Amino acid sequence: MKPSNIAGFYVARLRARVVQELFAVAGIAVGVALLFASQVANTSLSGSVDQFTRAVVGRATLQLRARDPQGFPASMVGAVQRLPGVLRVAPVLEANAYLVGATGRQVVDLVGVDPSLGSLGGALARHVTSTQLAGRSALALSASVSRRIGTGWRRPVEVDVNGHSTEVAVGSVMGKAEIGGLVDSPFAIVPLRFEQRLVGDRESITRILVQPRPGREGRVRAELARLAAGRLNVLPATSDATIFHQAEGPASESTGLFSAVSALVGFLFAFNAMLLTVPQRRRLVSDLRLDGYTPAEIAIVLLCDALMLGVAGAIAGLLLGDWVSRHLLEASPGYLSLAFPVGSQRIVTWQCVVIAASGGLLAACVGVLNPLRAIFAGSLPPARERSSQSRLGILWVTVGGLVCLGVSTVILLAGVQTVQLAVLASVSLLAAMLLLLPALLGAIVFVVDRGQREVLDASRRLALIELQSSTVRVRSAAIAATGAVAVFGSVAIEGARHNLAAGLNRAAAEMALVTDLWITSAGTGSTLATAPFQANFDRMLSHLRGVRAVRVYRGSFLDIGDRRALVMAPPRTAIQPIPPHQIVQGNLVHASALLQGHGWATVSQALAGELHLHVGKRFMLPTSRPATFRLAAVTTNFGWSPGVIVVNADDYARAWGSSDPSAYQLELDPGVPPVAAQAEIRRALGPRSGLSVQTAAQRESIDRATQEQGLDRLRQIALLVLIAAVLAMATAMGAMIWQRRARLASMKVDGYDERELWRALLYESALLLGAGCSIGALFGLYGQLLLSRTLATVTGFPVVFSVAGASALTDVVLVAGVAFAIVAIPGYLAARAQPRLQCG
């Protein structure tokens, strides 16, 4: 057969079944859209950090980086420039700053640069050259930041950094034309010397970007390491992107799992749609065989169908997915924006497009080639034989499901030790559900049938007869599987999210409620208290009315390998230096006592695993003045996925070589309301202090909001999956009912009236949708346990274990209920069909 003949043949047949084909295209499109949108959301976060990092570093491949926010002397730039093999260098001073404009505020990465950065050729440096800002006390902003905080060219903006607040004029606003996708990144550029004034340290920088001469990178790296003398880090210039990738890992993996669930729902949607056209294709196969076409020729004809449907579905799906990712799926940076310049830009990679489109084509091929056995069989087996084959098939499928369930259970009981095992267990559980579904569905219908034996209701009997009919079993299973997969995903991941959120909230409360008031630098530094400030207010604060005690808290981020760990250094005299529920190994009372001594630390689980630590073991921290600690206990990560280290504030000052506080913890006299004391302290600090004063409750609530923002994406995808599942089930069920109109009409001849037939359809739909969703919920609860265990053991998140039974029930009622309500309409119309007799 020539390709033109095949295409012509397809078009000729299309005219006769255009509605079914459009439905199939819609099914594929929804699947592709879900897959595409969730992938875009996933890649946008890491893509934005990657984009920003590359825009700053340009052609630099190495960097000398400070191990603390205070940085190192700018005089080292000359020493680096003189190293053999170095072509270009550029000093950079970075700090988290809080910009306050006329209508809003925004945390930004404040980047201080000098003209040398332009020579590295980074996209950012090309547009923010020294000519725009040189010698000026001004800053350059991206248009989106400018818009968000309500400022513009030459207008003032308040910059809060390191506890100092300064009013600065905006010297440049960069739009999309100048900096492309970076327009959505949260940054501000200032001349290096000006930023040094803003942070209150005229000599410091935080990194030196280095472009070695061609072929000299190894040599330069060695020279930089010698110069660093173990007090600075020598890293690839783009290490921020690598570190962010590690930090984003857990969120990315959970979104990835959800992407897989989305893809499966989409695939089932498409498969349901394709099942509608199976009878026609079976007839086509039969006709072509009778007309003497070879199996290969028939397969080509069907593959042509798949290609047409797949391509149309993939194109429509990519367009729909693009819209969904723009309008419905936000890429929320969440808590990671506290340590990385995460932008809100949408980044679409070619991999996203290829994976989503391939998924659509695959669904089309599997659906179209459903009658494959009929193509290649020597002769079709008689009906009775087919029936026994079908029973045997279900038996094997059930055995396969039980094996998969066993695999998941063994992994769960063994404690889910690695991410790979967690993925295997989740996939195995999903497979178990799909393989066991036909048997479970059959069992549910059987039990309901048994329970209805004595009920004299013709509608219910008709519904049960239809559900037990062997000819609609595949279609029924496909519809139930759609609901089951969606509810499984929603219950498992939403449940795990709920457990994680509960754990994070408890950790936030335990960290915030250790004192009455917190004073931190404004902006991101306030959330985790990681931005040290140069101030010496303890005496002034301790003399304020109602203040009982003032304690110094220190903290920052520390890069260890690919991890940007959070370092928390509560006061040495803190009664509760470790949040009580966060201990994984060790004794809380003993570890707390050790932390009040000298040279002890706790580290989080994943970090302890990576550094091969156990309680009591000595280890070295790569701080600016490397120091040795002993491990007092192993903790959860308190919600900071790369890991957490707790030392006391005095040990911190020794190891980091800085006595700057990053927070003051204030204890109030009994009976003094925190809000009143907060107002008093704000007055005492004055309007230009650049410090933030929070009550413990306010701090806890901000922590919660930040943590939950990071988990929003899962909730959004869960909602989309549920919507898609409702649509898929409703349309497939509706189509199945619609195709049955003639038979329903004929039942009127046997004395059934419209109401009885409609009730029968509703009962059948309710049973099928309810059973599918319930099976999904049951497996979803198992999945919740599995994912929660994974989060706790593999990534060390503070998880509170619970079974979200109420949430699962809500999902079942919601998905099955909405689909049922939609199906009621075609059901009503189908029940009204009039009988047509065959005679003259």
Q: How far is the CB of 836 from another protein (least distance, A)?
A: 8
Q: Which stretch binds another protein (CB under 8 A): 101-109, 123-131, 361-369, 446-454?
A: 446-454
Instruction: Please state the separation of Cα 687 from the chain's center in Å.
Output: 39
Q: What are the distances in angstroms from CA 620 to CA 616, 652, 764?
A: 13, 13, 67
The nearest distance, CB 459 to another protein, in angstroms, is: 9
Query: b or e along 614-646 (b: 16 or more beta carbons within 10 Å of the residue's beta carbon)?
Result: ebeeeeebbbbeebebbbbbbbbbbbbbbbbbb
Locus of tokens 């911190």: 652
What minimum distance in Å lies between the beta carbon of 288 and another protein? 22
* Strand 691-695 relative to strand 563-569, pairing: unpaired
Query: Which of 665, 692, 683 is closest to 161 using CA atoms?
Result: 692
Under rule CB under 8 A, how many of the chain's residues touch another protein? 38
- Which residue in 15, 453, 539, 612 binds another protein (CB under 8 A)? 453
Closer to another protein by CB, 78 or 751: give it.
751
Q: Give the nearer residue to another protein in terms of CB position, either 441 or 693.
A: 441
| The two three-digit tokens of residue 516, written as one number | 């009455």
Q: How far apart (Å, rounded) are the C-alpha atoms in residues 652 and 572?
A: 10
The tokens for 776 are 């999904």
Longest CA–CA span in the chain (Å) reads 106
454 — phi, psi (to 5°)? Answer: -95, 0
CB of 478 to another protein, least distance (A): 15
User: Which is nearer to another protein, 467 or 519 (by Cβ)?
Assistant: 467
Site for another protein (CB under 8 A): which residue of 348, 458, 684, 702? 458
Closer of 252 and 468 to another protein (Cβ): 468
**Minimal CA–CA distance to 704: which of 518, 539, 503?**
503
Strand residue runs (E) in 524-617: 547-560, 563-569, 583-585, 600-604
Q: Using CB under 8 A as the criterion, what x/- string covers residues 337-376 for binding another protein?
A: ----------------------------------------
Q: Give me the least distance between CB of 816 and another protein, in Å please.
A: 24
229 binds another protein (CB under 8 A): no
**Contact criterion met (CB below 8 Å) for 97 and 107:** yes
Q: Which amino acid type is present at position 139? A: L
Q: How far is the CB of 392 from another protein (least distance, A)?
A: 16
Q: Mark residue 547 as left, alpha or beta (left: phi above 0; alpha: psi -120 to 50; beta: remaining).
A: beta
The distance of closest approach from Cβ of residue 463 to another protein in the complex, given in angstroms and rounded to an integer, is 11
How long is the chain? 840
Distance in Å, CB of 745 to another protein, minimum: 9
To another protein, the closest distance from the beta carbon of 272 in angstroms equals: 18
Complex with another protein: residue 75 or 838, whichever CB lies closer: 838
Asked if 454 touches another protein (CB under 8 A), the answer is yes
CB 527 within 8 A of CB 96: no
Kindly state the DSSP code that residue 213 receives in the 8-state scheme: P
User: Would you count residue 612 as binding another protein (CB under 8 A)?
Assistant: no
Nearer to another protein, 131 or 838 (CB): 838
Selected range binding another protein among 34-42, 135-143, 422-430, 455-463, rule: CB under 8 A:
455-463
Q: Which stretch binds another protein (CB under 8 A): 69-77, 93-101, 247-255, 451-459?
A: 451-459
Q: Among residues 105 and 461, whose Cβ is nearest to another protein? A: 461
Answer yes or no whether residue 839 interacts with another protein by CB under 8 A.
yes
What part of residues 460-499 is at the interface with another protein (CB under 8 A)? Answer: 461-462, 465-466, 468-473
Quote the CA–CA distance of 466 and 193 in Å, as a whole number: 80
Please, which of residues 552-591 interact with another protein by CB under 8 A?
Answer: none
Q: Which of residues 77-96 bind another protein (CB under 8 A)?
A: none
Residue type, 620: M
Mode of pairing for the β-strands spanning 600-604 and 627-635: parallel
8 A C-beta contact, residue 380 and residue 411? no
Q: Cβ 772 to another protein, closest distance in Å? A: 19
Q: Of 7 and 447, which has the nearer Cβ to another protein?
A: 447
Q: Determine if 451 is a binding residue for another protein (CB under 8 A).
A: no
Nearer to another protein, 104 or 835 (CB): 835
* Closest approach of another protein to the CB of residue 457, in Å: 7
Nearer CB in complex with another protein: 203/457: 457
Q: Using H for helix, E for strand and C for coil, what is the string for 668-697?
A: ECCCCCHHHHHHHHHHHHCCCCCEEEEEHH
Nearest in space to 744 (alpha carbons), one of 759, 729, 733: 759
Parallel, antiparallel or unpaired: strands 563-569 and 204-205: unpaired
C-beta closer to another protein: residue 216 or 748: 748
Other Cβ atoms within 10 Å of 164 Cβ, number = 21
Nearer to another protein, 215 or 840 (CB): 840
Binding pattern to another protein, positions 721-760, x when CB under 8 A? ----------------------x--xxxxxxxxxxx----
Nearest distance from C-beta of residue 495 to another protein, angstroms: 37
Among the listed residues 2, 15, 384, 539, the single contact to another protein using CB under 8 A: 384
Q: Which long-range contacts (CB under 8 A, 24 or more apart) does 288-294 make?
A: 289/375, 293/1
Of residues 821, 835, 817, 832, the one with CA closest to residue 734: 821
Binding residue (CB under 8 A) for another protein from 387, 418, 587, 628: 387
Instruction: Among 229, 383, 575, 806, indicate the residue that binds another protein (CB under 8 A).
Output: 383
Q: Are strands 138-142 and 86-100 parallel, antiparallel or unpaired?
A: unpaired
Binding site for another protein (CB under 8 A): 383-384, 387, 449, 453-458, 461-462, 465-466, 468-473, 743, 746-756, 834-835, 837-840
